[in-house]
Amino acid sequence: MKTRRLLAKRAFLNPVNHMDDGWIKYVVYARDYRQHGHHAGIDVDAKLIIADCSRTITLDLDVDCNYPKEYKQRMDKLNKLRQAIDDIQAAIQQEYEKVHGDTENE
């Protein structure tokens, strides 16, 4: 079984001099597997880890690429996470603009 690292990143969520030490880390590995001497598929191991000053959560986004239904479920999960972040950002921006006006030119 051959394992390949596709992605490994970490970023702090706030400036270095900020008192909140939150961070985000995401890693993706792919494993080719064989059955009876032939290529049988690819497993993708993906993790998203989010931490703030007191909590850490890990989301497992693993998928066996041989199963289209499983692949679609993982893509749907990622799309829902992306949509949630976009919705939160839009709501905060809307309230900020009530106080400070349009932020497009900042």
**pTM for the structure as a whole:** 0.80
Classify residue 28 by burial, with Cβ atoms within 10 Å: 0-12, 13-18, 19+.
Answer: middle
More confident residue, 19 or 56: 56
Q: How confident is the model at residue 18 (pLDDT cuts 50, 70, 90)?
A: confident
Every domain of the chain and the residues it spans: 1-66, 67-101
pLDDT at 34 over 90: no
Q: List Cβ neighbours of 7 (8 Å cut-off, separation of 6 or more).
A: 26, 27, 28
pLDDT at 28 over 70: yes
Mean pLDDT of the chain: 91
Q: Give me the pLDDT at residue 21, please.
A: 83
How many Å apart are CA 103 and CA 106, to the nearest integer? 5
Tokens 């009530």, residue located: 98
Tell me: the pLDDT tens digits for 50-98? 998 889 999 999 999 999 999 999 999 999 999 999 999 999 999 999 9
